Structure 1
Amino acid sequence: MKLNRMLAAMVGSVVLCAAATTQAATELVIATVNNGHMIEMQKLSKHFEEANPDIKLKWVTLEEGVLRQRVTTDVATKGGQFDIMTIGMYETPIWGKKGWLKELKFDDSYKVDDLLPAMRDGLSSEGKLYAAPFYGESSMLMYRADLVKDAGMEMPSNPTWDHVAQVAAKIHNPDKGVYGICLRGKPGWGDNMAFLTTLVNTYGGQWFNMEWKPQLETQPWKDAISFYVDLLTKYGPPGSANNSFNEILALYNEGKCGMWIDATIAASFISDPKQSKVADKVAFAQAPTKVTPKGANWLWAWALAIPESSTKSAEAQKFIQWATSTDYINLVGKEVGWGNVPTGTRQSTYDNADFKAAAKFADAELAAIKSANPADSTLEKSPYTGVQFAAIPEFQSIGVSVGQQMSSALAGQVKVEEALKTAQEAADREMRKAGYYK
Structure 2
Amino acid sequence: MLTGCGSQDEKPVEQKSIRVLMVDNPQMLELKKLTKEHFTKKTGIRVDFTALPENEVREEVHTDFSLQSGKYDVATVSNFETRDYARRGWLKPLDSFITKDRGFDQSDIMLPIQLSLSGADGKVYAEPFYGESSFLMYRKDIFDQLGLEMPKKPTWGQIASLAEKADRPKKGVSGICLRGQPGWGEMTAPLTTVVNTFGGTWFDKGWNARLTDAAFADATQFYVDLVRDYGEDNPEKSGYAGCLRTMKNGKSAMWYDATAGAGPLEADSSPVKDKIGYVPAPIEETKSSGWLYTWAWGMQKASEQPRSAWEFMSWASSKEYEKLVGKELGWENVPAGKRESTFQRPEYKKAAGAFSEATEKAIREADPRRPGVQRRPTLGIQFVGVPEFTGLGDRVSEELSAAIVGKQSVSAALRKAQGDAQRVGDRYKRR
Which segment is superposed worse, 124-133 or 373-382? 373-382
Q: Please report how far the alpha carbon of residue 424 of structure 1 lies from its aligned counterpart in structure 2 after TM superposition.
A: 0.5
Matches of 1:255 and 1:409, distance apart in 2: 27
> SS of the counterpart of 2:103?
helix
Query: Contact conserved, 1:209 with 1:215, CA < 8 A, in 2?
Result: yes
For residue 214 of structure 1, report the CA deviation from its aligned partner.
0.3
Structure 2 counterpart of 1:318, one-letter code: E
Question: What is the CA distance between 1:320 and its match in structure 2?
Answer: 1.7
Q: Is the 8 A contact 2:36 2:46 kept in 1?
A: no
Partner of 1:403: 397
What is aligned with 2:203? 208
Q: How does 1:100-111 map to 2 (within 5 A)?
A: 100-104=90-94, 105-106=97-98, 107-111=101-105
What is the CA-CA distance between 1:33 and the residue it aligns to? Answer: 4.6
Q: How does 1:4-403 map to 2 (within 5 A)?
A: 26=17, 28-34=19-25, 36-47=26-37, 48-51=39-42, 54-62=45-53, 64-78=54-68, 80=70, 82-104=72-94, 105-106=97-98, 107-125=101-119, 126-274=121-269, 276-290=270-284, 292-294=285-287, 296-359=289-352, 360-403=354-397
Deviation at 1:316, TM superposition (A): 2.9
What TM-score, normalized by structure 1, do the two folds share? 0.86
Q: Secondary structure at the match of 1:266?
A: helix
SS of the residue corresponding to residue 274 of structure 2 reads helix
Alignment of 1:420 onto 2:414: yes
Shift of 1:54: 4.7
Do the aligned residues in 1 keep the contact of 2:74 with 2:300 (CA within 8 Å)? yes
**Structure 1 residue 31 displacement after superposition:** 2.2
Return the offset for 1:307. Answer: 2.3
Alpha-carbon distance, 1:186 to partner: 2.8
Contact 2:21 2:57 in 1 (8 A): no
Question: Counterparts of 1:185 and 1:65 in 2: how far apart (Å)?
Answer: 19
In structure 2, the CA distance between the partners of 1:379 and 1:277, relative to structure 1 (3 Å rule), is same
* Per-residue Cα deviation, 1:207-228 (whole angstroms, up to 9, x for no partner): 1123321000111222111121
In 1, are the aligned partners of 2:18 and 2:309 still within 8 Å (CA)? Answer: no
CA–CA distance in 1 between the matches of 2:261 and 2:342?
17
Residue 300 (structure 1) shift: 1.9
For residues 249 and 39 of structure 1, what CA distance do their matches in structure 2 show?
21
How has the CA–CA distance of structure 1 residues 261 and 406 changed in structure 2, closer, same or farther, with 3 Å as cutoff?
A: same
- Indicate the larger mover: 421-430 or 84-93: 84-93
CA-to-partner distance for each residue in 1:119-171, whole Å, 9 max, x for gaps?
A: 11221122322111111121111111111111110111201112212222222
Write out per-residue CA displacement over residues 164-192 of structure 1, whole angstroms, 9 at most, x where no aligned residue: 12222222334444322122223333322
Partner deviation per Cα, 1:336-380 (whole Å, 9 max, x = no partner): 222332221111111212222222212211111121222222223
Match of 1:283, SS state, is strand
Amino acid at match of 1:72: H
Go from structure 1 to structure 2 and tell me whether the alpha carbon gap of 1:43 and 1:187 turns closer, same or farther (over 3 Å shift): farther
Quote how far apart the aligned CAs of 1:50 are: 4.3
Match of 1:3 in 2: none
Which letter does structure 2 place at the counterpart of 1:32? V
Measured in 1, the distance between the counterparts of 2:402 and 2:72 equals 34
Q: 1:247 to 1:52 in 2, by over 3 A?
A: farther
Q: Is the 8 A contact 1:49 1:57 kept in 2?
A: no
Q: Deviations over 1:261-292 (max 9, x none)?
A: 11112222211223x221110110000112x1
Q: What amino acid is aligned across from residue 60 of structure 1 in structure 2?
A: A
Give 3-state SS (helix, strand or coil) of 1:425's partner. Answer: helix
Structure 2 length normalisation: TM-score?
0.87
Retained in 1: the 8 A contact 2:325–2:333? yes
Aligned residues: percent identity? 39
- Cα gap change, 1:193/1:341 in structure 2, threshold over 3 Å: closer, same or farther? same
Structure 2 gap segments, 5+ residues each: 1-14
SS of equivalent to 2:76: strand
Q: Which range moved further: 111-120 or 307-316?
A: 307-316
Query: What amino acid maps onto 2:271 in structure 1?
Result: K
Q: Secondary structure at the match of 1:252?
A: helix
Distance 1:33 1:170 in 2: 40
Quote the Cα distance in structure 1 between the aligned partners of 2:219 and 2:296. Answer: 30
